[in-house]
Structure 1
Amino acid sequence: IEAWATAKSLWEKSADLLMGTLGFAIRRAAVIPGLKQHLTCLSPSHIHESAFLAEFWEETFKCRLNGSVNSHSHGVGSDLDRPLCEGTEDLSDVYSPYSDVTQLRVSYNVYKAVYLVAHALQDMSNCKVGKGPFSHGTCADPKSFKPWQLIHYMKRANFSALGEKINFDQNGDPIAYYDLLNWQKRPDGSLHLVKVGFYDASMLTGRSLVINDSAIQWPAFRSVCSDSCPPGSRIVRRKGEPICCYDCVPCAEGEVSNMTDSLECLRCSEDTWPNNERNLCIPKTIEYLSYHEFMGILLCVASLLGACLSISIIATFYTYKDTALVRANNMELSFLLLVFLVVCFLVGLLFIGKPSDWLCRIRYPAFGISFALCISCLLAKTAVVLMAFRATLPGSNVMKWFGAKQQRASVIICLIWLLTSPPHATSNTHYHSATIIIECVTGSEVGFWCVLGYIGILACMCFVMAFLARKLPDNFNEARFITFSMLIFFAVWVTFIPVYVSTAGKYTVAVHIFAVLASAFGLLFCIFAPKCYILMLKPEKNSKKHIMQR
């Protein structure tokens, strides 16, 4: 049954089909001393008496021996038509299975069998009467013995042949040993039998079969029904069709396959994602609003520009602090409002960069408290205008609108928020499959919307009071500018809410920063631009006389 694994005749008929075949064969001997020389030393003078050798000689050299005893005919036509053999033919000049000693397998078994009989006869000859293995210590006669007596010695033989140990098990069977052969194709198209492993029954259980995978040359056949599925896809069998008929289906989102004709796709880990070909998992893109990207740089410059403008206005107001215009509009509240606007502008910087827990816990309370203080200052300024026309000196009781007791609400809301469910950084992998969004989550949505709600209540109060003061004398009246600034404030934050809810990732942060900056710039320009215009470009209007004019 092992003979087919070395049958080169099969290769001649179906080489392409059998390439890469694996099969077990009888153990091969590297060389049997003197065998090749013996086989190739035949000459016509030695083979006339053997019909077998005569037939072999005539078929190998396609000639006819004089007085041949060969009675067989091969192929078409008569052997009598062949030329006579010249007697100079040499087997070493041609290839034939007869003289091929590269695959000595059956011949090796014959070689070992002859030596086995020889060793058995030697042991039989060495037997001493009275110590023999048979009844009453008798020995077998080497010149006249029974077959069973020879078999007895053969089962107990133990010798080496060409480096291989020859022995038998308790049942008298030889220890099984087979070569694992791989049929490989040489560049010239001939068969090359390569040993890629072996089976040895004498080894420990589970280690009897040894295979060298790297030495195996697998066949490279194409399916007669479907092409191979490339990496990044998997095989789906067609129902009711042969197993070689299938469809190639791309791996699902989040899955890869890195082998040809893969039966299944493997899912990438939580922090990786397939490449475009879906044959390799690559790290996901990390997304947050960075100082190094254009949008982050633009918002950062806008924040710093707003802070610098506010500081420059503070310097201008301090330079003209003794003038009528600055004093008439409650200088203390103006300075406080400008300081809080600087804080509002700088709060925008807290939203840029990679989020962390401590940064998230700072940015939201800082945003809420700074804006609450800005709106409170405007509320107090509006109250100044109303009180001024009720014979009350500006600044006498104004701070009760802006005092620490009245601003405890925003601080208390932020403290409760931070103590119960504070904002924190998180990695969002659900919004976009191929991206990890590092973002700040509010922790408590109630806390976030309470802060916005409190700022909204203050803005509404400020708007109402400014509206009530709209008909007071123009030169004392900031209500028109405050009303306009509140309209800008409302427009920005009413637009902010739906946009904020509908976006994700760094764009949500950018929208938040834009709303903060737009509100702060609206307050800065509406309240202070007209005053700076008079202070810097129209100094003749910066007098008590001009201010007191109706």
Structure 2
Amino acid sequence: MKPKASVNLPDYVHLHVLLWGILSVMFNQVETKAQQCKLIPGSMSLPVLQRNGDITLGGLFSLHDMVVEPNRLFTTMPPHPRFNFRTFRWMQTMIFAIEEINREGKLLPNVTLGYKIYDSCSTPYQALKAAMELMGTEQDSEVEMVDNHMCHGTVPVVIGDGGSTQSLVVARFLGAFNVPQVSYFSSCACLSNKMEYPAFLRTMPSDLFQVRASIWSDILTGHGWVVRQSLTMRDAMAAIVSRIRSSGALVVLVFAVEQDAAALFDEALRQGLSGIHWLASEAWSTASVLSTPKKYQHILQGTIGLALRRAQIPGLQDFLLRLHPSNSDASENPFLIPFWEEVFGCRLGERTLMENENYKPPCSGTEDLKSIKNIYNDVSQLRISYNVYKAVYAIAHAIKAMKSCNDGAGPFLLQACSEATNIQPWQLLHYLKEVEYTNQFGDETMFDQNGDPVAMYDLVNWQLGSNGEMQFITIGMFDGTAPAGRKKLQLQDNNILWNDNKTMVPQSECSSPCPSGTRKAIRPNFPVCCHDCVVCRAGEIKCLRCLPLFWSNVERTACFPKEVDFLSFSDTMGKTLTTVALLGSLCTCWVIFIFSCHISTPIVRANNSELSFLLLFSLNLCFLCSLTFIGRPSDWSCMLRHTAFGITFVLCISCVLGKTLVVLMAFKASLPGSNLMKWFGPVQQRAIITLSTLVQVIICIIWLTVAPPTPQKLMPRESAIVLLLCDEGSALGFALVLGYIGLLACLCLFLAFLARKLPDNFNEAKLITFSMLIFCAVWVAFIPAYISSPGKYSVAVEIFAILASSYGLLACIFAPKCYIILLRPEKNSRKHLMSKTNVQ
């Protein structure tokens, strides 16, 4: 686990460091042979894995993940730590490299390397305690100080620790004694400060190379990206995710340790943030805690990250798998038992369970590491393990250089060499800083003046394999050793799969130049360079309004004349209404033809056949006048449609009124002493119809004279259409025309209602009553529908009202008569019509 740029260490850690600093000064002021190297009084020895050799290398590995500091009140048992298989592989890699060097004997002939390895438990306190034991000897032994620096038998160099937080503490302590420390996984840039950490070196590139060097800038600018913001750990992940969402960035560089990155992605999942192309810093670019869980796959697929150089170390996997409790050296390994029990979920021997430890069944003895697959024996991504491997070999090359020193040509005072049998840490530190070699994998290992290696990274792409598991595909590399004039970054764009399996390079910048048809809108609380591109409103180009009769195209780059819209004969609605109107006219003509063929029959002659033919003629005009409402409005069509509608409907209602009066008067005239029929003869009926229609004609003439209907263009501000309609001109004139029709209809309905129960076998008043009810219902519903309908739909509503009321009159008044004429001719007789048998 690696810290942020600044690390707040616990106070007790600073106290330990200060204490040992004071002790180191005291050692330089007192006779060396009077001093002894002892452990802190009252402390307990930590478990250690060691093997003797001519030169012993110290090792610090966080084999257990202890995220909670020990409770020094001793009121509760400490939590049971989790065994880290990955770190255990690192430790085994150190042992493998040491045994490989000893076995081959080419690098250090006649010299055997040993090791002394402690578990730092992922805590600064435990790491410092382990480092202190590395600097001491077996408890209560008396060993002399040498050169005021350290005792015989202690390690001259330490490999570790993994986390930067632990290394910061250990480096301060070891630096006080000039004991070289080579870390394999501590990347904090602060450790490059040689004033504070003079003996610290590492095979892990510093974070400084990622942050300040050209790696990320080359990647970002090479794809035309402007990343909104790099992320380190903050207090509120929700705020970070919200900021990413609001920024609009599609490519985000997350510079954080894997635990913090996991917290960020958990919040991204909670808020539903997706479609982001993530760039991973080295700390989490190959983290299994992020690549393994299925929940992260859909948002992290396509991630590109910097990863440490990977190597295939021959023989390492066999070395890892040969580990077994039954081996002869197993009893000397205090870390084997917790590892084995954690891997197989069983308990070795008769060990007593610790408090807070779950019960495990006894191991059967047949367990084999080859039968399981976990991160311990997975050697497909040897990156940190490779760093451990290089650290061991770097120390071996330093020891070789030290052993190869010729007297009189040494690097120390008076050109002296180090003692062959007494290697001093400060001397080994000098040779470590001078190490420069190329290993069997072709990688160069060396340290700069800050103890940092040359930055070399693989670029990996997270791709989902066919087996559903995330794979790290190498798509390039960054070589910090490349000479001037040669590109350090090599990237294979063709092999990259981005988020959602896209192959096209995503675009991401704070704010792209606004394209044509948009304008810039400043984002509040954002830098000036960040803006939103707001699409110009419809009807604008360059966000300037087009002229009233013009409208912008989709791209908002030019103005074009607006489309003219009206109820035409060519559109679907116009065709439908035309068909219905012509069908009504044909039905009316068909009734006229039937009545003409049977004009002498009683049912046609009843109630004055002349009125029936006049009513049919007016109904035919009503159907045809609806056609004047369809088509492009003009001065003549606007005046014709309203006047024709008003006059023909009054003529129609006047005929119905005449027929109603005839029914009433015929009944009254049949009473003894009545002479009313002489006042309602054919001449009087024609006069009533003529006078009633003349009133509407006069209203229309006045309307057309004062304020006639005229064509009108409606241009809604937010519409690309110009509506062509007929303006009524005078609203009063239009209201009088409709009002007069309504007055006659109500009068006709009232008279027909009075005559509905007159004794007659064929009482036409009933049919008139039904027809006028339909007529009045249609026109009462017409008024709100007409007012609320937009544009050409108001015209369609008026046509519908005309046709519906016309069909109502035709069907109610004439359909029963046609039924008798055509299908029941026996009832078409004077005898039947005068019969009183069915009086209501």
- State the TM bucket, normalised to the shorter chain: 0.5 to 0.7
Is structure 2 residue 506 aligned with structure 1 residue 228?
no
Specify the code of the residue in structure 2 equivalent to 1:547: L
How far, CA to CA, are the matches of 2:691 and 2:570 in structure 1?
42
Correspondence for 1:292 among 567, 570, 595 = 570
How far, CA to CA, are the matches of 1:533 and 1:275 in structure 2?
59
How far, CA to CA, are the matches of 1:432 and 1:241 in structure 2?
32
| Residue equivalent to 1:340 | 618
Correspondence for 1:319 among 568, 583, 597 = 597
Deviation at 1:254, TM superposition (A): 2.3
Specify the code of the residue in structure 2 equivalent to 1:363: R
Is structure 2 residue 773 aligned with structure 1 residue 487?
yes
| Residue equivalent to 2:786 | 500
How far, CA to CA, are the matches of 1:431 and 1:331 in structure 2?
56
Percent sequence identity is 54
What SS does the corresponding residue of 1:389 show, helix, strand or coil?
helix
What SS does the corresponding residue of 2:547 show, helix, strand or coil?
coil
Segments of 5+ residues of structure 2 without an aligned counterpart are 1-220, 222-506, 670-676
**Can you list the C-alpha shifts for 1:343-368, whole angstroms capped at 9, x where unaligned?**
00000110111111110010000000
Correspondence for 1:389 among 653, 659, 667 = 667
What SS does the corresponding residue of 1:402 show, helix, strand or coil?
helix
Is structure 2 residue 474 aligned with structure 1 residue 474?
no
What SS does the corresponding residue of 2:519 show, helix, strand or coil?
strand
**Can you list the C-alpha shifts for 1:8-54, whole angstroms capped at 9, x where unaligned?**
xxxxxxxx9xxxxxxxxxxxxxxxxxxxxxxxxxxxxxxxxxxxxxx
Q: Do the aligned partners of 2:601 and 2:829 also contact (CA within 8 Å) in 1?
A: yes
Correspondence for 1:537 among 823, 828, 838 = 823
Q: Do the aligned partners of 1:470 and 1:477 also contact (CA within 8 Å) in 2?
A: yes
- Report matched runs for 1:94-493 at 5 Å: 226-237=511-522, 244-257=529-542, 265-391=543-669, 392=677, 395-396=681-682, 398-399=684-685, 402-430=688-716, 433-493=719-779
**Can you list the C-alpha shifts for 1:514-546, whole angstroms capped at 9, x where unaligned?**
100000000001000000011111111111111
Deviation at 1:403, TM superposition (A): 3.8
**Can you list the C-alpha shifts for 1:287-329, whole angstroms capped at 9, x where unaligned?**
1111111111111011111111111111111111111111112
How far, CA to CA, are the matches of 1:498 and 1:224 in structure 2?
54
What SS does the corresponding residue of 1:273 show, helix, strand or coil?
strand
Specify the code of the residue in structure 1 equivalent to 2:622: C
Q: TM-score, normalised by structure 1?
A: 0.56
Segments of 5+ residues of structure 1 without an aligned counterpart are 1-15, 17-221, 258-264
After superposing on structure 2, the runs of 4+ consecutive aligned residues of structure 1 that deviate more than 4 Å are 222-225, 237-243
Q: Do the aligned partners of 2:638 and 2:709 also contact (CA within 8 Å) in 1?
A: yes
Specify the code of the residue in structure 1 equivalent to 2:532: D
**Can you list the C-alpha shifts for 1:62-86, whole angstroms capped at 9, x where unaligned?**
xxxxxxxxxxxxxxxxxxxxxxxxx
Going from structure 1 to structure 2, the CA distance change for 1:454 and 1:242 (only over 3 Å counts) comes to: same
How far, CA to CA, are the matches of 1:276 and 1:450 in structure 2?
46
Correspondence for 1:514 among 796, 800, 813 = 800
How far, CA to CA, are the matches of 1:530 and 1:223 in structure 2?
78
Q: Do the aligned partners of 2:760 and 2:835 also contact (CA within 8 Å) in 1?
A: no
Going from structure 1 to structure 2, the CA distance change for 1:390 and 1:241 (only over 3 Å counts) comes to: closer
How far, CA to CA, are the matches of 1:431 and 1:466 in structure 2?
50
Q: Do the aligned partners of 1:421 and 1:443 also contact (CA within 8 Å) in 2?
A: yes
| Residue equivalent to 2:290 | none
What SS does the corresponding residue of 2:818 show, helix, strand or coil?
helix
What SS does the corresponding residue of 1:474 show, helix, strand or coil?
coil
What SS does the corresponding residue of 2:777 show, helix, strand or coil?
helix
Deviation at 1:477, TM superposition (A): 1.7
Moved more, 391-400 or 351-360: 391-400
Q: Do the aligned partners of 2:538 and 2:718 also contact (CA within 8 Å) in 1?
A: no
How far, CA to CA, are the matches of 1:240 and 1:527 in structure 2?
77
How far, CA to CA, are the matches of 2:658 and 2:589 in structure 1?
21
- Report matched runs for 1:3-22 at 5 Å: none
Deviation at 1:282, TM superposition (A): 3.1
Q: Do the aligned partners of 2:650 and 2:696 also contact (CA within 8 Å) in 1?
A: yes
Specify the code of the residue in structure 1 equivalent to 2:579: V
How far, CA to CA, are the matches of 1:432 and 1:329 in structure 2?
58
How far, CA to CA, are the matches of 1:242 and 1:548 in structure 2?
98
Deviation at 1:239, TM superposition (A): 7.0
Going from structure 1 to structure 2, the CA distance change for 1:241 and 1:468 (only over 3 Å counts) comes to: closer
Q: Do the aligned partners of 2:760 and 2:833 also contact (CA within 8 Å) in 1?
A: no
Specify the code of the residue in structure 1 equivalent to 2:516: P
What SS does the corresponding residue of 1:282 show, helix, strand or coil?
strand
| Residue equivalent to 1:526 | 812
Q: Do the aligned partners of 1:385 and 1:476 also contact (CA within 8 Å) in 2?
A: no
How far, CA to CA, are the matches of 2:726 and 2:584 in structure 1?
24
Q: Do the aligned partners of 1:288 and 1:354 also contact (CA within 8 Å) in 2?
A: yes
Q: Do the aligned partners of 1:329 and 1:476 also contact (CA within 8 Å) in 2?
A: no
How far, CA to CA, are the matches of 1:400 and 1:297 in structure 2?
37
Q: Do the aligned partners of 1:226 and 1:245 also contact (CA within 8 Å) in 2?
A: yes
Deviation at 1:243, TM superposition (A): 5.3
How far, CA to CA, are the matches of 1:527 and 1:542 in structure 2?
16
Going from structure 1 to structure 2, the CA distance change for 1:269 and 1:281 (only over 3 Å counts) comes to: same
Specify the code of the residue in structure 2 equivalent to 1:235: K
**Can you list the C-alpha shifts for 1:217-276, whole angstroms capped at 9, x where unaligned?**
xxxxx998532111111123457876544332221342122xxxxxxx222121222233
Specify the code of the residue in structure 1 equivalent to 2:535: P
Q: Do the aligned partners of 1:232 and 1:251 also contact (CA within 8 Å) in 2?
A: yes
Pairs aligned (count):
323
Specify the code of the residue in structure 1 equivalent to 2:798: H
Specify the code of the residue in structure 1 equivalent to 2:668: R
Deviation at 1:473, TM superposition (A): 2.0
Going from structure 1 to structure 2, the CA distance change for 1:302 and 1:241 (only over 3 Å counts) comes to: closer
How far, CA to CA, are the matches of 2:632 and 2:660 in structure 1?
40
Deviation at 1:474, TM superposition (A): 3.1
Specify the code of the residue in structure 2 equivalent to 1:442: E
What SS does the corresponding residue of 2:725 show, helix, strand or coil?
strand
Specify the code of the residue in structure 2 equivalent to 1:385: V
